Amino acid sequence: SNLSQGTPFNVALSSSLFCYVCDNEHSNWNCLKTYKCEDNEKYCTTTYSSAGLGKDMGHRITKKCSADCPETNVNFGVAAYSTKCCSTSLCNFSGANSIKISYAAMLLGVVASLICVIKAGL
């Protein structure tokens, strides 16, 4: 019947997203708890923040379900803040190493912006 043919598609549309969740943890090992997201939450996010210098550097990881995708990369030298998001179940597994990649990408963006500003000023 037509009803049974439509069922797999409907199930796929309503399939739940699962994300790893934690709040301000020091280690990614403390972020292995899984959570079934609400229907309106289509993304898993990982927010990594660090502050301090050298051996006094402190790191925090927060993971959660999110209705939007607030990707950010902010680096003030002594403090950094990075949010990554993804949209498949348990995709927000990785932790602290993602911000190091973000630093390089952000630095390229800053350099490119400066070049544009300098060219515009000439």
CA dist 99 and 51 (Å) reads 13
CA distances from 84 to 6, 102, 118, 120 (A): 34, 9, 30, 32
Do residues 62 and 47 touch, judged by C-beta distance below 8 A? yes
Q: What is the pLDDT of residue 11?
A: 41
DSSP H or E segment with residue 86: strand 79-86
Choose between 104 and 15: higher pLDDT: 15
**CATH code of the domain made up of 16-121:** 2.10.60.10
DSSP secondary structure code for residue 12 in this structure = H
Proportion of the chain above pLDDT 70, given as a percent:
68
Q: What is the pLDDT of residue 8?
A: 45
Tell me what the mean pLDDT of segment 97-106 comes to.
46
DSSP secondary structure code for residue 14 in this structure = T
Tell me what the mean pLDDT of segment 33-44 comes to.
97
Give the tens place of pLDDT for each residue, 68-96: 998 889 988 888 999 999 999 999 998 64
